[in-house]
Structure 1
Amino acid sequence: MDLPLIRPFPPRLSRLGAALEAIEESGIYSNSGPVARRFEQEATARLFGGRGACVAVANATLGLMLALRHGLLGRRDRTLAILPAFTFAATAHAAQWVGLTPVLADCDPDDWALAAAEEERLLARHGARIGAILPYATFGNGLDWERYAWLARRHDLAVVIDAAASLGARDEADRGFGTDCPFPVVFSMHATKTFATGEGGLIYCRDEALVERLRAMANFGFEAGRSATLPGLNAKLAEVPALLALEKLGEIEAVATHRAALADHYRRRLAGFTLQVPRGRRPALQFMPVLLPAALAPHREAIIARLAEAGIGAGRYFSPHLAEQPHFRDTCLIEPLPVTDAIASRMLVLPVTDAMTIADVDRVADALIEACRRQPRLPRAQPATPRSRLFGAILVGGGPAGSALIGAAAKAGQLEPLAAAGLAVIERAPHIGSGKLGAYAIASDSTAETFLTADTALPPALRLEDEAVAKALRAHIGGLGVPLAKVGAYLDRLGARLAQRLDDLGGVLLTGHEVVAAQQLGGGGWRVRARRRADGEAIELHGHSLVLATGGHQPATRLAEELVAGRSLIERCGDRLIQSDALLREGGVEAALASLPTGRPLRIALVGGSTSAVTAAVRLLKAGVPLAPGGLALLHRRPLRPFYPSAAAARADGFEDFGPDDICPVSGFVYRLAGFRLEARELVVHALGIGGRAGDPRLRLHRLGGAEDAVAARLLDEADLVVAAFGYRPHALPLIDQAGRAIRLRADAPAHGPMVDDQCRVVDAAGEPLDGVFGIGLAAGFVPSGALGGEPSFRGQANGLWLWQNDVGQRIAAQLLARAEAACARAVA
């Protein structure tokens, strides 16, 4: 088999002759010898930024046992440990060996790690009987250890992360996974792992004193001399395997980066399959996990056999899962495991090895697709969406805007009648909630209070106020926004509760589906064609109304269309040009700087006056990018305006650049819509020198002139990096008229006007509203007016969760209900 599933590549002992001779010469072969200690120190420095400490052990299972046993000190009355059923046997064995009974819990359907809701439920049920939680970083993926730190404090329990496959993984901040973790994180160095040696383990923790106690426990509990003061066993890493680990440190970055590139290509080639949602910037992949379509699960062994015939290794990891293995079935407490059962039955793992190439990935992907195509598909039950059913409304998109619409309707008492009239939600992701919001490395431009008010859309029994995600947001009340990673976690949890509420009311939620197009029907209404992403199976729904909550993007055409100082940015700047969306994502700054000169201050030009432009400036300044004075230039057309809660507050702050048309007649806010808020506002008020403030000397502002703007041309020509921040345009769904012709929207017309009018109705290129089609969300272009307020001078689009969760969402919901009721009246007549 020329592409085996696992092909170990540990460092070659045959090339380490001099180092092996040095070990022989020293006469030290074990007992925390100099090679093992050097490996621990260099692993701490290279993998964890020199923060905390590491202790090397003979294998990761012993590491789990030591860490758990230490966590139970003072907690001997605790008898249970929560861990996922979807993990390797070593996790449960380690718990049992230290006297704990594993409680096998279900996993999350997205990242396949322990489900947070299950943890909360089990902690509430078993209380002080729970001594530890053992989350598993599934297949080298990341997880949110900060939430576990909060659980440990809240419930006084031990947490040990089983990160067996994660040595070499990078977190959202581009640090080694686990960096700064206050409890032990246990890694494996087995030959089959990405960090391949032969056998061995590594325990990392921020608490250096804790690491020293684990070191003593790994040496029979000897803290000093040869008298045991702690529970112990022999778990020391010998000098020769430590030498292999030390050598692997020099390779791991290149190995993990190469494997990540292979995985990224797999994701592109296997987009039609269900894949694990990545957590963190870079997992340390041992192999590529894929879920087969449910209809093909019974044919998994045949598919593996076909791949083997093609010279390709494949397997099924954690299948059977722990609860299906006889020993654990007889000795553990087992919770309902619907997600674990489904994932384990469909799991297929594909090769990702150091020697593979992108062409090899293509070969594996082609072979898998062909093997699946040749298998007979068994009939399966469809979701509760009878094709003959006519829905009152079909909502396309369950991200922040789509979920906000559901929440707005719930707040206003409109969700029950909407669901009764027939409400279907179609979302391409596995769940509704945050969409891609959590992937951005910036703070929100909405306050923590704004996000938390969404909870009032839920019945009391479903609210999130006591959950960790809500408490994480409350910590930012009164602050300059909330990190979007925390916002994403909150909105995902809120989405799960809204989905539950929708289901309780009889609505239909189709996750894992994407809409292909929608066609106008004679007599009103729309036919929506969608496909299931897992296997491409088509489904068709009919609805009286259609809501587009499909988000926005930054099209590359803007770079060619938009002229700055007389030329397009793509023509002037070439490969020095990126878009702000890429910069604002996790790892975006690091990726942008990777190809830039080093050893001297950089010059960066930001083009645009939108929130994304100013936020990009904030991100670059906070990231500590080496900049000369004035090295970050913000080139903008319109004046930069800060928000103020009143005219009096603006004047008291020394800001006078506003008139009557800049004040919202409803709220009295100055620049209610056009003004920057939170972090962006702080940057602007300092840069403008309002109230005598001093701006950051690294930032300069330049108001763009016409085609002859020589200053702008020079700033762009001299910049090492140019960031285009031209805002967002809508991801509009292809709409087709009754005759089968594409309907051109105003948002796609040459003038690029707003997608919606003041009633949130989607309009065509002539400015006429389409019958029964509404839009909400990023780049929809809605501008509040009348009772909704807003300054008369505002020119632009208003995007904000508050609007979506309240006035805008309720305005759309009321129109959906009116159309459904009118259609019902026509049918009765």
Structure 2
Amino acid sequence: MNPLPLIAPNPPRASLLGAAFARVEASGIYSNHGPEARAFEAEATTHLFAGRGASLAVANATLGLMIAIREAAGLRHRAGAQALMPALTFAATAQAAEWAGLQPLIVDVDPDDWAMAAAEEERMLRERPGRIAVIVPYATFGNAIDLHRYAWLRQRYGVGVVIDAAASLGTLDDCGVGFGADAPFAVVYSMHATKTFAVAEGGLIHSGDADLIERLRAMTNFGFTGARSATLPGINAKLPEVLAVMAREKLSGFDAVCDNRAVVEQAYRDALQGSALQSVAGRRRAMQFMPVLLPESLAPQRDAVVGALAADGIGCGTYFSPHLGQQPWLREVGDCQPTPSADAIAARMLSLPITDAMTSADARRAAAALDSVCAALTDIARIPARVQATPAVAPLMIVGGGPAGTALLTAATKRGLLPEFARGLIVVERDPHVGGGRLGRYAITSDSTAQTFLSAVKDNAHPSIAALHDAPEGRAVAAHADALGVPLVEVGPLLRATGERLADVVRDHGGTVLTGHEALGAERTTDGLWRVTLRRLRDGATVQRLTRALVIATGGHQPLDRLTAQRIAGAPLVELAGERLMQSDAVLTLGGFAQIADILSRKRAPKIAVIGGSTSALTSVALLLKGQPALPLGAGAITLLHRRPLRPFYHSVEAAQAEGFTDFSPDDICPVSGFVYRLAGFRLEARDLVLRMLGIDGRAPDPRVALHRITGDEDAEARAIVRDADLVVAALGYRPIGLPLSGIDGRPLALAADEGAPMVDRHCRVVGADGQPVPDAYGIGLAAGFVPWGALGGEASFVGQANGLWLWQNDVGLMIVDQVLAQAARAAA
């Protein structure tokens, strides 16, 4: 039988267009909205949109989305504004929004038509008034979504709208008119070679508003509206004349192409009546391929399904899996809301072929092949196993592959131990990639130097890792070598790249890296092992793995329930602050400052109270001072309320004394390094702010910031500061996310961390509520509660916990590595 490729590009044959190309040569015009492009726009409006509205040809659909989103969001939208879009769409939608200066806000989809969920759209618009600048719905797989509703949302919420209709050129709405013909906003279509309206490349923007099309036309030509002088933001997005010739040719007979594809779609629907299909609207869809959901039980075997169909000559894909909310770059820079429907759909999605050359019989053949493959795999799954294999026992499982979890691997490289350490190791990470965690999502600078981050890769024993020092990710961090820290958005790519190289080393030496998985809990077995239950996020499938030792590196968070018990100067914080309360983690993440700007937008002279004496408190103050657009902060606008004295870090006693800083005793000096306030002292940007506020060495305090040290439960002034503030930022530190642990009897183990105590002891061992270490369980990372001691250094006066990537990648990480390897040696003996 003839093969059925998933996509068979069928653009006009350039070899047959010689006369038209000669016409372009004769005109001497090759771009700049020339006669061929203008003619195509007019013909497209007539033939595709019944002569309604106006059209604009662009170089590609992504550029079309960029300028349309920028225009709809407001040419001077505020910093931190967001573009609301569905999880189930192509990466170009989010990329275009980000290039237009907006943060992608990704929400769930409807489980029936797979378009953006209406309830989620309206919830976001209600909860974020003024922050969402534009909605970018996707006409999923060419479906005719309800444009009247988006016109209502635009009017109701005062928000811009741009429709991503990349696969919809040729779709007819319920009235039989081209989808988008009368839309009062921009509808953007693709003319890529793989689309139904196949040209080599290109895009089309259509709207019922001709004036809007002319504004967008100027934006495609550098923002020129008359003379060669920019009056609008612009870019070069014009469709070349040669491509316009091909686009004009594609119009000829295009209705017949769409009608044939509609017949193939219907044949699929008739043949796949027992399958989960998209609920559709409109009289005809310009189908690029046929989407179908596998049975839930076969989602874990999707690769096997694809392979079996390929062996039968039937191409298929998995659009869109992973969806936007599962892609690393979007998880770092976007605002990804929970997406259970999109998660489930993406895990089961399969794309079957629809091409210009296919017939109904071809569709029935492909559908029958899919049914046959699914039936065979289902029968295999039903065969009972005659022998229950005993699961292999891993020497170690690291739960959490973020900066702390991969720091263990980096620590092992420092002594050439990673090949040995990796043998049988299992690393479990929720994200699709290891290494980055959430660090790159913070809109602040680090409290570590560029050199600290680079020390993990510079001269590393593994050449693939050492090469990152001079790679683009390493050079981006090195560019901040003389600055007060590194922007964490620059650190994220280096951490991810390092994590991926470390993961490769682990795999090469017999270890396993399970990305897209989460650990639900661990239970102690009678033979002294840990039985860990893992869940695969894409389909919810669970599995249990045995390990001799366990490292919990799941990071920290700021739980809301902690605020309910928090008291400030004897009074409940939630009663003093009410709805004006934010946690520092929300302030410091990307988009946090924009949210604050929205909250304070109606305050002429806002008052802000920041509670806490931690680095996150000082960093929050620094962000409030330097954020753009600047807040209207007057004298004493920000008050930092703290209990402990604010201490700057110094490299030596002599350096402190040289600046006139003498507020320290011998107990404040690290006996190993000679540093003053090695652990308790603020560093880099936070240190600079503290030095200014304390007036050290003649520095002038920032008049916009006031300090208030809370004196006790009777501090009425502290209570008044919080009560009268327009915004209250709680920077009260982090608590470990942890992992539920159970004993041999299956009952939950009571842990010290559950009662607010440190999660680990001085050897990084997880501590029970009774103060005794939990056997073979270790912890590392943010909020673990580790305090350096002995050869690790630190001042005797230090109270609290010490966190830092350098510590994790060196002495602290090696402390765990040594214990795990020693245990493995004992087990082998």
Once residues 601 and 525 of structure 1 are traced to their aligned partners in structure 2, the CA distance between those partners, rounded to angstroms, is 60
Once residues 792 and 786 of structure 2 are traced to their aligned partners in structure 1, the CA distance between those partners, rounded to angstroms, is 11
How far did residue 408 of structure 1 move? Answer: 0.9
Residues 779-805 of structure 1, C-alpha deviations (whole Å, 9 max, x = no match): 001100100001111101100000011
Secondary structure in 2 matching 1:138: helix
In structure 1, the partner of 2:56 is 58
Matches within 5 A, 1:38-77: 58-61=56-59
Once residues 658 and 313 of structure 1 are traced to their aligned partners in structure 2, the CA distance between those partners, rounded to angstroms, is 78
For 2:94, give the aligned amino acid: G
Once residues 526 and 506 of structure 2 are traced to their aligned partners in structure 1, the CA distance between those partners, rounded to angstroms, is 29
Once residues 695 and 640 of structure 2 are traced to their aligned partners in structure 1, the CA distance between those partners, rounded to angstroms, is 15
Residues 543 and 460 of structure 1: CA distance in aligned 2, closer, same or farther (over 3 Å): same
How far did residue 215 of structure 1 move? Answer: 9.2
Indicate if the aligned counterparts of 1:314 and 1:348 stay in contact, CA closer than 8 A: no
Counterpart selection for 1:416 from 404, 416, 419: 419
How far did residue 345 of structure 1 move? Answer: 8.0
Matches within 5 A, 1:45-124: 58-61=56-59
Indicate if the aligned counterparts of 1:635 and 1:702 stay in contact, CA closer than 8 A: yes
Residues 628 and 427 of structure 1: CA distance in aligned 2, closer, same or farther (over 3 Å): same
Once residues 300 and 488 of structure 1 are traced to their aligned partners in structure 2, the CA distance between those partners, rounded to angstroms, is 47
Residues 175 and 574 of structure 1: CA distance in aligned 2, closer, same or farther (over 3 Å): closer
Indicate if the aligned counterparts of 2:646 and 2:690 stay in contact, CA closer than 8 A: yes
Once residues 779 and 284 of structure 2 are traced to their aligned partners in structure 1, the CA distance between those partners, rounded to angstroms, is 47
Indicate if the aligned counterparts of 1:58 and 1:235 stay in contact, CA closer than 8 A: no
Matches within 5 A, 1:597-608: 598-608=602-612
Once residues 310 and 64 of structure 1 are traced to their aligned partners in structure 2, the CA distance between those partners, rounded to angstroms, is 25
Residues 488 and 299 of structure 1: CA distance in aligned 2, closer, same or farther (over 3 Å): farther
Matches within 5 A, 1:149-160: none
In structure 2, the partner of 1:198 is 206
How far did residue 217 of structure 1 move? Answer: 10
How far did residue 58 of structure 1 move? Answer: 2.5
Indicate if the aligned counterparts of 2:58 and 2:238 stay in contact, CA closer than 8 A: no
Once residues 216 and 620 of structure 1 are traced to their aligned partners in structure 2, the CA distance between those partners, rounded to angstroms, is 36
Counterpart selection for 2:686 from 680, 689, 699: 680
Counterpart selection for 2:735 from 688, 705, 729: 729
Counterpart selection for 1:655 from 656, 661, 674: 661
In structure 1, the partner of 2:123 is none
Once residues 782 and 312 of structure 1 are traced to their aligned partners in structure 2, the CA distance between those partners, rounded to angstroms, is 64
Indicate if the aligned counterparts of 1:779 and 1:797 stay in contact, CA closer than 8 A: yes
Indicate if the aligned counterparts of 1:555 and 1:729 stay in contact, CA closer than 8 A: yes
Matches within 5 A, 1:430-469: 430-456=432-458, 457=460, 459-462=462-465, 463-469=467-473
Percent identity, aligned pairs only?
45
Counterpart selection for 2:696 from 684, 690, 695: 690
Residues 788 and 343 of structure 1: CA distance in aligned 2, closer, same or farther (over 3 Å): farther
Once residues 323 and 709 of structure 2 are traced to their aligned partners in structure 1, the CA distance between those partners, rounded to angstroms, is 56
How far did residue 195 of structure 1 move? Answer: 3.7
Counterpart selection for 2:744 from 738, 747, 761: 738
Residues 715 and 652 of structure 1: CA distance in aligned 2, closer, same or farther (over 3 Å): same
1:404 correspondence with 2:407 = yes
Indicate if the aligned counterparts of 1:57 and 1:63 stay in contact, CA closer than 8 A: no
For 2:441, give the aligned amino acid: A
Once residues 780 and 312 of structure 1 are traced to their aligned partners in structure 2, the CA distance between those partners, rounded to angstroms, is 59
1:615 correspondence with 2:619 = yes
Residues 446-486 of structure 1, C-alpha deviations (whole Å, 9 max, x = no match): 11111111114451144212321111101000211111111
Residues 481-508 of structure 1, C-alpha deviations (whole Å, 9 max, x = no match): 1111111111111111111111111110
Once residues 236 and 400 of structure 2 are traced to their aligned partners in structure 1, the CA distance between those partners, rounded to angstroms, is 54
How far did residue 510 of structure 1 move? Answer: 0.6
Indicate if the aligned counterparts of 1:314 and 1:349 stay in contact, CA closer than 8 A: no
Gap runs ≥5 in structure 2 = 1-31, 39-53, 65-86, 101-127, 136-163, 170-178, 188-204, 208-212, 248-268, 292-314, 326-337, 350-370, 382-388
Counterpart selection for 1:806 from 779, 786, 810: 810
Indicate if the aligned counterparts of 1:426 and 1:515 stay in contact, CA closer than 8 A: yes
For 1:400, give the aligned amino acid: P
Counterpart selection for 2:632 from 604, 611, 626: 626
For 2:689, give the aligned amino acid: L
Residues 710 and 349 of structure 1: CA distance in aligned 2, closer, same or farther (over 3 Å): closer
Aligned length: 575
Residues 143 and 668 of structure 1: CA distance in aligned 2, closer, same or farther (over 3 Å): farther
Residues 63 and 524 of structure 1: CA distance in aligned 2, closer, same or farther (over 3 Å): closer
Matches within 5 A, 1:114-193: 138-141=92-95
Once residues 287 and 784 of structure 2 are traced to their aligned partners in structure 1, the CA distance between those partners, rounded to angstroms, is 44
Once residues 484 and 221 of structure 2 are traced to their aligned partners in structure 1, the CA distance between those partners, rounded to angstroms, is 31
For 2:697, give the aligned amino acid: G
1:484 correspondence with 2:488 = yes
For 1:308, give the aligned amino acid: S
Once residues 534 and 768 of structure 1 are traced to their aligned partners in structure 2, the CA distance between those partners, rounded to angstroms, is 38
Matches within 5 A, 1:693-712: 693-712=699-718
For 1:61, give the aligned amino acid: A
Once residues 572 and 652 of structure 2 are traced to their aligned partners in structure 1, the CA distance between those partners, rounded to angstroms, is 39
Once residues 588 and 428 of structure 2 are traced to their aligned partners in structure 1, the CA distance between those partners, rounded to angstroms, is 27
Secondary structure in 2 matching 1:602: coil
In structure 1, the partner of 2:592 is 588
| Root-mean-square deviation (Å) | 4.8
For 2:420, give the aligned amino acid: P
Once residues 366 and 423 of structure 1 are traced to their aligned partners in structure 2, the CA distance between those partners, rounded to angstroms, is 28
How far did residue 628 of structure 1 move? Answer: 2.1
Indicate if the aligned counterparts of 2:323 and 2:346 stay in contact, CA closer than 8 A: no
Residues 410 and 205 of structure 1: CA distance in aligned 2, closer, same or farther (over 3 Å): farther
Counterpart selection for 1:526 from 519, 530, 534: 530
1:389 correspondence with 2:401 = no
In structure 1, the partner of 2:279 is 308
In structure 2, the partner of 1:759 is 763
For 1:617, give the aligned amino acid: V
Once residues 790 and 300 of structure 1 are traced to their aligned partners in structure 2, the CA distance between those partners, rounded to angstroms, is 71
In structure 2, the partner of 1:104 is none
Secondary structure in 2 matching 1:635: strand
Residues 722 and 599 of structure 1: CA distance in aligned 2, closer, same or farther (over 3 Å): closer
In structure 2, the partner of 1:665 is 671
Once residues 556 and 550 of structure 2 are traced to their aligned partners in structure 1, the CA distance between those partners, rounded to angstroms, is 18
Secondary structure in 2 matching 1:509: strand
Residues 692 and 139 of structure 1: CA distance in aligned 2, closer, same or farther (over 3 Å): same
- Farther-moved stretch of structure 1 (517-526 vs 390-399): 517-526
Once residues 362 and 391 of structure 1 are traced to their aligned partners in structure 2, the CA distance between those partners, rounded to angstroms, is 33
Once residues 65 and 362 of structure 1 are traced to their aligned partners in structure 2, the CA distance between those partners, rounded to angstroms, is 27
Residues 379-415 of structure 1, C-alpha deviations (whole Å, 9 max, x = no match): 79xxxxx861100000000001001111111222221
Indicate if the aligned counterparts of 1:59 and 1:235 stay in contact, CA closer than 8 A: no
Once residues 216 and 594 of structure 1 are traced to their aligned partners in structure 2, the CA distance between those partners, rounded to angstroms, is 33
Indicate if the aligned counterparts of 1:629 and 1:698 stay in contact, CA closer than 8 A: yes
Residues 674 and 174 of structure 1: CA distance in aligned 2, closer, same or farther (over 3 Å): farther
Residues 555 and 233 of structure 1: CA distance in aligned 2, closer, same or farther (over 3 Å): closer
Once residues 349 and 461 of structure 1 are traced to their aligned partners in structure 2, the CA distance between those partners, rounded to angstroms, is 29
Once residues 479 and 270 of structure 2 are traced to their aligned partners in structure 1, the CA distance between those partners, rounded to angstroms, is 49
How far did residue 717 of structure 1 move? Answer: 1.1
Once residues 496 and 754 of structure 2 are traced to their aligned partners in structure 1, the CA distance between those partners, rounded to angstroms, is 31
Once residues 278 and 243 of structure 2 are traced to their aligned partners in structure 1, the CA distance between those partners, rounded to angstroms, is 46
How far did residue 566 of structure 1 move? Answer: 1.2
Indicate if the aligned counterparts of 1:219 and 1:234 stay in contact, CA closer than 8 A: no
- Bigger radius of gyration, 1 or 2? 2
Residues 717-773 of structure 1, C-alpha deviations (whole Å, 9 max, x = no match): 110011111000101100000011111111111xx1111111110101111111100
In structure 2, the partner of 1:771 is 775
Once residues 651 and 671 of structure 2 are traced to their aligned partners in structure 1, the CA distance between those partners, rounded to angstroms, is 12
